[in-house]
Chains A and B, each alone.
Chain A
Amino acid sequence: DTGVSQNPRHKITKRGQNVTFRCDPISEHNRLYWYRQTLGQGPEFLTYFQNEAQLEKSRLLSDRFSAERPKGSFSTLEIQRTEQGDSAMYLCASSHFSGNTIYFGEGSWLTVV
């Protein structure tokens, strides 16, 4: 499978715990995006990387959220001190430098209880 890969696919955590999601983009894609989607809404942009550089962060990305892409390949999204409002599907996507056609992974569902 050469698509965008995300894990874990599902995570249930207690409020206050930290969680980390991993994304492996399509291998030749140098742009990587994180989005968040809640029920009944379209995906909302969180942040994006070009190679290892994080070039933009949404205002939605509070200080409890941090994303890295240390070698310009896979990326991690960490949420510290989770809150119930963090419950959502976290989507990773990747594209070529041109940005044309962004492909999404299967998503990581987070439930904070």
Chain B
Amino acid sequence: EDKVVQSPLSLVVHEGDTVTLNCSYEVTNFRSLLWYKQEKKAPTFLFMLTSSGIEKKSGRLSSILDKKELFSILNITATQTGDSAVYLCAALLGSQGNLIFGKGTKLSVKP
């Protein structure tokens, strides 16, 4: 059965801290790994990773994929209260383009 596992499930940090969110996957017909941010509404797209070892960056966020070990990490540096959200990891399957989501990591950034 296809599955995506995220850890930790929740995390509380203070502003300015750096955090690393983990995502491992076991799926058939893997195509890409996607990260989304969700703040009490629909998930908003952050990154799509298809190749191993190539870091993607957007401001204070960065992510990398390891297709050999079947995991990805999402890093957030110099966290801000506005980073508080649930971060979802999803594996994009090749045939239909369907996404298999993890349960998410709930990040709380305290002032």
Contact = CB atoms under 8 A, between A and B. Distances in A.
Interface range for A: 20 to 34
Chain B contact residues: over half helix, strand or loop, or mixed? strand
Contacts of B44: 104
A39 B104 CA distance: 11
Interface string B11-50: 0000000000000000000011010100001111100100
Nearest to B4: A42
A2 interface: no
Contacts of A21: none
A48 interface: yes
Interface stretch (A66-74, A79-87, A91-99): A91-99
Contacts, number: 60
A62 interface: no
B97 A105 contact: no
A35 B36 CA distance: 15
Interface stretch (B51-59, B76-84, B88-96): B88-96
B103 interface: yes
Contacts of A35: 99
Contact of A100 (B48, B100, B101, B103): B48
A45 B4 CA distance: 13
Interface of A: 4, 31, 33, 35, 40-45, 48, 55-56, 91, 93, 95, 98-107
Q: Which 3 pairs, one residue from A and one from B, show the smallest C-beta to C-beta distance?
A: A99-B97, A42-B101, A104-B42
11 contacts: A42-B102, A42-B103, A43-B101, A48-B98, A55-B96, A99-B92, A100-B32, A100-B92, A101-B48, A104-B42, A106-B41
